[in-house]
Amino acid sequence: MRVLSGIQPTGRPHWGNYFGAIRQYIQLQNEDQAFYFVANLHALTTIRDRNLMTEYTLNAAIDLLALGLDPNRAVLFVQSDVPEVSELCWILLAGTSMGLLERCVSFKEKKDRGLSPVAGLFTYPVLQAADILAYDSDVVPVGQDQTQHIEVCRDIAQAFNHQYGEVFVLPKAKVLSDSAKVPGTDGEKMSKSYGNTIEIFESPKEARKKCMRIATDSRPMEAPKEPDNDHLYQLYSLFVDEKNRAAMASLYRAGGFGYGDVKKAIADAAEAFFAPARERRAELENNPDEVREILAAGAQRARAKASEVLGRAQEACGIKF
């Protein structure tokens, strides 16, 4: 079974990205053959600054490695290092109906958010389909917001197979659990677009400051409280084991301590939780050549598979003979 997913290099990852996505990708490397790539061609639809593009792309790879992606288990590469995908994308575009893309909500959403409605943003799901189909991917782990794109990919693959014979493997989405649950500093879903994030790799001092400013309700914490629906408790629970979680839950139910104490506990737990990754990240940052080598080796493995699949598609539609 091959698992594949793409991670957009859109800046510094936050706690929500880690628990909702990155951690789960990393766990999958132990179960199946995993391919993960930094989706820089997708990011080109929104990032127009050359230096930012390079910086974000390398940073995304470093972040994944620091957080535990093991290049000996998973194949890690940069999307644009596999040109076969862009070629396959054109073959797919040639047969994709406008109506299918017009039904995608992500284009409309991005346009409404003020992103410039370029053609690449409209055809974005076809590039994503090429990403998936190029590696005969069986399973695509994604957040809830991406499930429509996997359906589009299946539609495109089915239409091609129907026209030309069984060329593509039909992938299945694996919706990541809790991919919308990590609360931000205002208690709403943590998201870059809401400005309520705490980043994984910001300095512990900055992260602590943000923790201390997390919004709370006006009820005195000293009163006994049910922990389960409280966003401070939810955040704390992410970073600790069952024993500490239960201890915090009893403190909530007994009452008698302040919100400030919980916020401090969150800051302490988060700092300890990410300390090894922070250390590993600093090492990788000082060794950019090591990162480039990992990405080059990943691209080589990815290309071997993609050129085989592209060849199949080219032959099937009569452009390679």
Determine the Cα–Cα distance for residues 79 and 57; give it in Å rounded to an integer. Answer: 10
Binder among 3, 5, 24, 82 for ligand TRP (CB under 6 A): 5
| Subset of 32-51 contacting ligand TRP (CB under 6 A) | 39, 42
| Residue count of the chain | 321
Distance in Å, CB of 91 to ligand ADP, minimum: 27
User: Which of ligand ADP, ligand TRP, none is residue 182 near (CB under 5 to 8 Å by kind)?
Assistant: ligand ADP
Kindly state whether residue 141 participates in binding ligand ADP, applying the rule CB under 6 A: no
Kindly state whether residue 6 participates in binding ligand ADP, applying the rule CB under 6 A: no
Tell the burial category of 217 from Cβ atoms under 10 Å away from its Cβ (0-12, 13-18, 19+): exposed
Tell the burial category of 228 from Cβ atoms under 10 Å away from its Cβ (0-12, 13-18, 19+): exposed
SS (H, E, C) 37-50: EECHHHHCCCCCCH
| Subset of 141-170 contacting ligand TRP (CB under 6 A) | 142, 146, 149
Kindly state whether residue 12 participates in binding ligand ADP, applying the rule CB under 6 A: no
- What is the residue type of 59? N
User: Which of ligand ADP, ligand TRP, none is residue 179 near (CB under 5 to 8 Å by kind)?
Assistant: ligand ADP
Binder among 132, 176, 221, 235 for ligand ADP (CB under 6 A): 176
Q: Which stretch binds ligand TRP (CB under 6 A): 55-63, 140-148, 264-272, 276-284?
A: 140-148
Q: Which stretch binds ligand ADP (CB under 6 A): 13-21, 221-229, 239-247, 271-279?
A: 13-21
Determine the Cα–Cα distance for residues 237 and 234; give it in Å rounded to an integer. Answer: 5
User: Which of ligand ADP, ligand TRP, none is residue 20 near (CB under 5 to 8 Å by kind)?
Assistant: ligand ADP
Could you report how far apart the first and last alpha carbons of the chain are, in Å?
Answer: 31
Helices (H), 67-169: 83-93, 98-102, 105-112, 119-122, 124-133, 147-164
Kindly state whether residue 84 participates in binding ligand TRP, applying the rule CB under 6 A: no
Residue 291, CA distances (Å) to 59, 66, 71, 105 in order = 10, 11, 10, 35
47-81 core/surface letters (b: 16 or more CB in 10 A; e: else): beeeeeeeebbbbbbbbbbbbebebeebbbbbbbb
**Residue partners of 79: CB distance under 8 A and separation at least 6:** 6, 37, 38, 39, 40, 41, 42, 85, 131
Distance in Å, CB of 185 to ligand TRP, minimum: 23
User: Which of ligand TRP, ligand ADP, none is residue 17 near (CB under 5 to 8 Å by kind)?
Assistant: ligand ADP
Determine the Cα–Cα distance for residues 43 and 171; give it in Å rounded to an integer. Answer: 23
User: Per-residue string for binding with ligand TRP, 118-137, x by CB under 6 A?
Assistant: ----------x--xx-----
Residue in the block written with tokens 């009163």: 223
Residue numbers annotated as active site: 110, 189, 192
Kindly state whether residue 309 participates in binding ligand TRP, applying the rule CB under 6 A: no
Binder among 17, 45, 128, 137 for ligand ADP (CB under 6 A): 17
Count of residues in contact with ligand ADP, rule CB under 6 A? 19
User: Which of ligand TRP, ligand ADP, none is residue 33 near (CB under 5 to 8 Å by kind)?
Assistant: none
Binder among 192, 245, 278, 312 for ligand ADP (CB under 6 A): 192
Tell the burial category of 36 from Cβ atoms under 10 Å away from its Cβ (0-12, 13-18, 19+): buried
Q: Which residues bind ligand ADP (CB under 6 A)?
A: 10, 16-17, 19-21, 143, 145, 176, 178-182, 189-193
Q: Which residues bind ligand TRP (CB under 6 A)?
A: 4-6, 8, 39, 42, 128, 131-132, 140, 142, 146, 149
